[in-house]
Amino acid sequence: MHQPTIGSMNFSGQSTINPSLRSLYPLIYKLHKGNTVDIDQATKYFGKTLHDKLYQHCVNLMKKYKYLTKLEVSYLHATLSGIVNMLNKQDNTLMNFIPDNTVSEVSSVAKGIVDIQQLRVIDVLDHLYTVYHNRGIQGLRVESILKKASIISQGGINAETSIEYKVYDIMEVIINELEYGNWCTSSKSETDCLFYWKNILHIISERRMIHKKGELTSTATKFERVINEYEFGETNKNVSGRKIDLLIQTTSVNIQNKPEVFDLSSMEFKKSGSDDIYLISQQNKNIRTMKSVLASLLATTNHIDVVLGMDIVGVSGYMFAVLPYEGVTFATNVTDDKIVFLPVNKYDLDDFLDKKKYVLPLLFTYKVK
């Protein structure tokens, strides 16, 4: 969870539920079931707000629903959820109706959320980069072990929260994967990649964070699904949230002073070589999950303005922000061109340790504060 400094009144912690779009849900449910629907019965909005633009775009797509491609249906579902996906602007026809100044302002705020100039992380990386080039991977292992021991022996430093300790701990995990993970000679599954990422994120996050792996159900999206099916009719006998691969949660106390689990972020993992349509469809699913997470958090606190998610293909991917703007939820990149990845060979390790690549500093911004 991050709270950027937002100077514009357009950015709001208000609920992201869009009443006008919800009026289309009964129609999309019927279309999904293969029923004939007269889309002209939908209420017509001719305003110029973002709400109106999303609504009219959905109506236009629903009029030709049976001719839509899988990719177009995926974007339609995201738009019906009140989401503008800016991650693949060239594929999302909705972007043709979003004003340039809106795109610019949302992008600017998102890029101000992350702090890749984390000097403590960069200083340690600079040191490790020199060690690796002078003494090789075994020298890197020895240095990481000795530095961790030195930090622990100082007594006054909490090893669990020390940035330096975490970086050295991460290096040990990476070195073990490079030496024993057999990444270069075998085909790795999504599960292999997920476990690698989970081990790194577990170190970066504080102990109070919960990392759940596998095809999981988000609590935030389950609540939204229950509301939808109560109001518009049952579409699945077993109501559940959207399935995700890695869910980051935390526990806190609710207003009844009882412990409660809160969803904070999600990660989707796809196998290397997956086709683009599948990747973008999964991306839209992850964004919808993150939108539900944001809406759930907005309902419980006024200290949250934005949430961060990640999409991973193999061991590399990108980080994105989900934030509200004028009552609509936007998903956008937090950096222009920087990707996040984990090393699987010595060449990757060289890039990973290069402070100019900002890979590890960017990952540390994913830590939920």
Tell me if 339 sits within 8 A of 316, measured CB to CB: yes
Q: 139 in a domain, yes or no?
A: no
Give the pLDDT confidence of 222-257 residue by residue, as tens digits. Answer: 545 544 444 445 554 443 445 567 878 777 776 677
Alpha-carbon distances of 180 from 81, 175, 177, 186, 315, rounded to whole Å: 44, 8, 5, 12, 16
**Cα 271 from Cα 56, distance rounded (Å):** 36
2 band by pLDDT with thresholds 50, 70 and 90: very low
291, part of any domain: yes
Domain assignment of residue 357, yes or no: no
Range of the domain at 17: 1-6+13-123+189-340
Q: What is the mean pLDDT of residues 99-127?
A: 87
Q: What is the mean pLDDT of residues 345-362?
A: 88
> What pLDDT shows up at residue 213?
54
Count how many residues are written for the chain: 369
According to the model, what pLDDT value does residue 220 have?
A: 55
pLDDT at 258 over 70: yes
Q: What's the whole-number mean pLDDT along residues 28-37?
A: 87
Tell me what pLDDT residue 227 has: 43
Q: What is the DSSP string of 163-209?
A: HHHHHHHHHHHHHHHHHHS-TTTSPPPHHHHHHHHHHHHHHHS-TT-
Look at residue 178 and tell me if it is in a domain.
no
The helix/strand/coil state of 11 is coil
Give the residue ranges of DSSP H helices in 9-99.
19-22, 25-32, 50-63, 70-80
Q: pTM of the prediction?
A: 0.83
Bridge pairing between strands 259-270 and 307-313? parallel
Helices (H) and strands (E) in the chain, counts: 12, 8
Q: Average pLDDT for residues 260-284, to the nearest whole number?
A: 85
Output the pLDDT for position 242: 52
327 in a structural domain: yes
**What pLDDT does 289 receive?**
86
- Name the pLDDT band for 273 (thresholds 50, 70, 90): confident
Containing 252, the helix (H) or strand (E) segment is: strand 243-253
Indicate whether 356 belongs to any domain: no
What is the C-alpha to C-alpha distance for residues 287 and 321, in angstroms, rounded to an integer? 9
Q: Please check whether residue 138 lies inside any domain of the structure.
A: no
Task: Give the count of domains, the chain.
Answer: 1
User: Is 155 inside any structural domain?
Assistant: no
Contact 342, 197 (CB under 8 A): yes
